[in-house]
Amino acid sequence: MFDFIIKNKESCARTGIFKTPHGEIKTPIFMPVGTKGTVKTMTPDNLNSINAEIILANTYHLMLRPGEKLIKKMGGIHKWTNWNKPILTDSGGFQIFSLKDITKISEEGAEFKCYLDGSKHIITPEKAIKIQTDIGADIIMAFDECAPGTSSKSYAKEAMERTHRWAKRCKKEHQKLAKLRKNPQALFPIIQGVTYDDLRIESAKFIRDLDLPGIAIGGLSVGESKEQMYHTLEILNPYLPEQKPRYLMGVGTPEDLIEAIDRGIDMFDCVLPTRLGRHGAFWDLSGRHSITNKKFAQDESPLDKKCTCYTCKNFSRSYIRHLITENEILGMHLLTLHNLHFLINLTNEAKTNIEKGTFGKFKQQFFKHYKPKNIKHVQ
Amino acid sequence: MFDFIIKNKESCARTGIFKTPHGEIKTPIFMPVGTKGTVKTMTPDNLNSINAEIILANTYHLMLRPGEKLIKKMGGIHKWTNWNKPILTDSGGFQIFSLKDITKISEEGAEFKCYLDGSKHIITPEKAIKIQTDIGADIIMAFDECAPGTSSKSYAKEAMERTHRWAKRCKKEHQKLAKLRKNPQALFPIIQGVTYDDLRIESAKFIRDLDLPGIAIGGLSVGESKEQMYHTLEILNPYLPEQKPRYLMGVGTPEDLIEAIDRGIDMFDCVLPTRLGRHGAFWDLSGRHSITNKKFAQDESPLDKKCTCYTCKNFSRSYIRHLITENEILGMHLLTLHNLHFLINLTNEAKTNIEKGTFGKFKQQFFKHYKPKNIKHVQ
């Protein structure tokens, strides 16, 4: 279990297969985010129709409501949500830090106020693992401190070193709890270090040496420039073991996916396709558009002429624009489905091109048509 | 076209087939409401999965946004919404009167303020028909005045007589415009008269004599008691021609459907299943329930153990309760789908039992288990 087999390589880009108790994941792969145990507006059937192979759920939200004990009692996250393919849960750390509800960080863990009722909670590395064990995903994440992109070097170092000590505690707790489970879970530790090259390299070495089934890169797409993010991936590359999947957390846009695959990344997740979908935006091969733009009012063509998703095969921009203007749920669903399909299809096309040795050309073609917006995307 | 063939009868209850340009409707039938050109939260595929044979759209909403001209330009309501089975549009009258935006009723028509921007509009019978011709549904409705259930007899009579004169004008305009269309449309006129028996009978005779392909009963489920509604259906029955489909507008609850089928009604529509679904309520054979009830938090059973819909085959009450508590769109979708399936399945079971001559027994069994809430359902 949790073997990662590299199938093809083209420069730094690679394709592979990662084995989990709920099936194989073929990389590179985009993973839709199901924050509260549902990829917003999507049924499992919808997710299958766009070839989703793995989805995320957020530990932070699920531990507060309905609580991990209830999910465990209902047979675990797969049975409860009726999703029988792989699931990944984050550790809750990212939400605690980004929602600014944190009240105290100590060696022990992070204390925070619940956004629902103001009640105080403390999450320790051990607790983050215990909760994720109860939820029961296939891939679980170490509890890390995601320092802001604007952190000073001294704070970045402090947070990174704490993240390393926490990662060791997570590994220990995970080994203890794994014995009590039927289905094994893969623990992925997380590289931090903000945008300081020497810290990133130090972190990569430490995380690599923990020798766990995968390696995540955190603390990117949190306010730094795209160039900084791409640069960080480049300097990390020589320090990452070949035979483990590399997961770039919280990324991203179509252009980020292509650039990161080119720099050796295998796994991605981001709320962007679902969030944009609920707010009336969609991608096609020329870039990102807002469906409420008046020019679409009488546009009988699909969102993307080359797209094969249910939305594009059945509905016009004119109709979807009407639905979004009227705040109709169907409009949000149709855009979400298309956007998720767009990113999943993009990683699939990247995969096919790496297999054929044509990824370089594919990337060139992509950027010939696709014009990224100058918007800073943060998670 | 628009033939109605009675297949079976059991006492007053009947089954039949109504032919339209987009296929046959088998009665008795429940028709989901797609107010703004979408049955809320449902794709056409979802509607097909629950055997929906015909859906509604509301002229009032569509004429204001996006406007009937746009729908016509996009190829008509079927093509625009990608629903290839029959569609019925109401005349807009019910919304104008019930939304209390009416500013003046005259012989000419009704003047109202648009709820969106306060602009003044006048709808005449001719205009209501013209708009519905542009939208392009298979069944269109005459423009009527739906007087409140609390109206005095003199006002009820005045409104009814105006409705009759308007119905004649609708018929005339329809005959004129029908010549310009490829696909024919069936115009249904509407019986009014509040709950005054003599007015209802007078209205039934007048509407019957217009000799149009179907007959609608309006002005019920607008605040009167259930007993009054059932009584009105009983006294109307002898005056309704056998060989035309009878459409009870805006009804209703499971118990109302069974009682009305027993009194010779063939067609129903109501926003209740979709609206309840978005607000966390569902039906099973014992009655109506709120999924947010704490007792469902750890309930692993489906909404309805005997139900075959996608929701019941795949999800537990526990999970759906979580989704609704968290205001997740998937929860609204799953409940909506179940509720619509419940009513469509109920009319289908009624049909099967009428065919077998066991409807009386079926009704008895239904009410043995189903306990209606003492809630006045208004449209």
At B214-250, the pLDDT tens digits run 999 999 988 889 999 999 999 999 999 999 999 999 9
Which chain B residue has its CA at the smallest distance from A79's CA? B315
Last residue of a domain, one of B251, B277, B303: B277
User: Looking at the structure, do residues A227 and A82 belong to the same domain, yes or no?
Assistant: yes
Residue B80 near chain A (CB below 8 Å): yes
Q: What does the DSSP 8-state code read for residue A132?
A: H
B330/A40 touch (CB, cutoff 8 Å), yes or no = yes
Residue A115 near chain B (CB below 8 Å): no
Chain B: nearest CA to A104, how far in angstroms? 28
Residues 6+ apart with CB under 8 A from B6: B14, B15, B16, B242, B243
Does residue A378 form part of some domain? Answer: no
**Of A40, A310, A334, which is closest to B329 when you measure between CB atoms?**
A40
Chain A contacts in chain B segment 205-244 (CB below 8 A) = none
User: Looking at the structure, do residues A269 and A296 belong to the same domain, yes or no?
Assistant: no
User: Looking at the structure, do residues A56 and A90 belong to the same domain, yes or no?
Assistant: yes
How far is it, in rounded angstroms, from Cα B342 to Cα A262?
A: 51
**Range with the poorest average pLDDT among A79-83, A86-90, A222-226:** A222-226
How far is it, in rounded angstroms, from Cα B243 to Cα B237?
A: 13
B80/A318 touch (CB, cutoff 8 Å), yes or no = yes
**What CATH number has the domain bearing residue B98?**
3.20.20.105
Residue B84 near chain A (CB below 8 Å): no
Residue B292 near chain A (CB below 8 Å): no
Look at residue A222 in the predicted model and tell me its pLDDT: 87
**Of B315, B322, B329, which is closest to A41 when you measure between CB atoms?**
B329
Report the predicted TM-score, pTM, of the whole model to 2 decimal places: 0.97
Selected catalytic residue, list A138, A269, A284, A304 = A269
User: Looking at the structure, do residues A295 and A169 belong to the same domain, yes or no?
Assistant: no
Chain A: nearest CA to B338, how far in angstroms? 14
Last residue of a domain, one of A261, A277, A293: A277
**Of B70, B298, B318, which is closest to A297 when you measure between CB atoms?**
B70
Look at residue A376 in the predicted model and tell me its pLDDT: 54
B316/A81 touch (CB, cutoff 8 Å), yes or no = no
Does residue B374 form part of some domain? Answer: no
A126-158 pLDDT, tens digit per residue, is 999 999 999 999 999 999 999 988 899 999 999
Does residue B377 form part of some domain? Answer: no
What ipTM goes with this model?
0.97
A82/B314 touch (CB, cutoff 8 Å), yes or no = yes
Regions of chain B short of the pLDDT cut 50: 377
Look at residue B376 in the predicted model and tell me its pLDDT: 54
A280-326 pLDDT, tens digit per residue, is 999 999 999 999 999 999 999 999 999 999 999 999 999 999 999 99
**Of A40, A82, A326, which is closest to B36 when you measure between CB atoms?**
A326
User: Looking at the structure, do residues A113 and A152 belong to the same domain, yes or no?
Assistant: yes
A165-209 pLDDT, tens digit per residue, is 999 999 999 999 999 999 999 999 999 999 999 999 999 999 999
Look at residue B119 in the predicted model and tell me its pLDDT: 87
How far is it, in rounded angstroms, from Cα B233 to Cα B220?
A: 10
Does residue A183 form part of some domain? Answer: yes
Chain A: nearest CA to B293, how far in angstroms? 14
Chain A: nearest CA to B365, how far in angstroms? 33
Does residue A377 form part of some domain? Answer: no
Task: Give me the phi and psi of B105, to 5 degrees please.
Answer: -115, 125
B300/A326 touch (CB, cutoff 8 Å), yes or no = no
**Range with the poorest average pLDDT among A4-18, A87-101, A360-374, B119-133:** A87-101
- Looking at the structure of chain A, the number of domains it has is 2
B74/A37 touch (CB, cutoff 8 Å), yes or no = no
Q: Which amino acid is at A114?
A: C
User: Looking at the structure, do residues A345 and A217 belong to the same domain, yes or no?
Assistant: no
A319/B80 touch (CB, cutoff 8 Å), yes or no = yes
**Residue by residue, what is the 3-state secondary structure of B201-215?**
HHHHHHHHHCCCCCE
The SS3 call for residue A39 is coil
Selected catalytic residue, list B256, B269, B284, B304 = B269
User: Looking at the structure, do residues A244 and A329 belong to the same domain, yes or no?
Assistant: no
User: Looking at the structure, do residues A199 and A296 belong to the same domain, yes or no?
Assistant: no
Chain A contacts in chain B segment 5-64 (CB below 8 A) = 36-38, 40-45
Alpha carbon of residue B247 to chain centroid: 8
Does residue A118 form part of some domain? Answer: yes
User: Looking at the structure, do residues A191 and A283 belong to the same domain, yes or no?
Assistant: no
Look at residue A264 in the predicted model and tell me its pLDDT: 98
Chain B: nearest CA to A300, how far in angstroms? 7
Last residue of a domain, one of B277, B310, B333: B277
B298/A74 touch (CB, cutoff 8 Å), yes or no = yes
A90 is catalytic: yes
B43/A333 touch (CB, cutoff 8 Å), yes or no = yes
User: At residue A278, does pLDDT exceed 90?
Assistant: yes
Does residue A375 form part of some domain? Answer: no
B318/A80 touch (CB, cutoff 8 Å), yes or no = yes
Selected catalytic residue, list A90, A138, A144, A284 = A90
Count of CB contacts below 8 A, A vs B?
102
Does residue B351 form part of some domain? Answer: yes
Q: Which of B329, B299, B294, B328 is nearest to B315 (CA)?
A: B299
Domain of B108 in residue numbering reads as: 4-277
Average pLDDT of the residues in A5-11: 97
Structural tokens at position B185: 């449309």
| Sequence-ordered alpha helix ranges (H) in chain A | 44-49, 59-64, 68-73, 77-81, 93-98, 125-135, 153-178, 197-209, 226-236, 254-262, 272-278, 310-314, 317-325, 329-356, 359-369
Residue B297 near chain A (CB below 8 Å): yes
User: Looking at the structure, do residues A299 and A157 belong to the same domain, yes or no?
Assistant: no
Question: Which of chain B's residues have a Cβ under 8 Å away from the Cβ of A42?
Answer: 330
A34-47 pLDDT, tens digit per residue, is 999 999 999 999 99
User: Looking at the structure, do residues A149 and A228 belong to the same domain, yes or no?
Assistant: yes
Chain B: nearest CA to A88, how far in angstroms? 19
B80/A316 touch (CB, cutoff 8 Å), yes or no = yes
CB-side neighbour CA atoms (13 Å) of A243:
5
A269 is catalytic: yes
User: Looking at the structure, do residues A273 and A312 belong to the same domain, yes or no?
Assistant: no
Look at residue A374 in the predicted model and tell me its pLDDT: 65
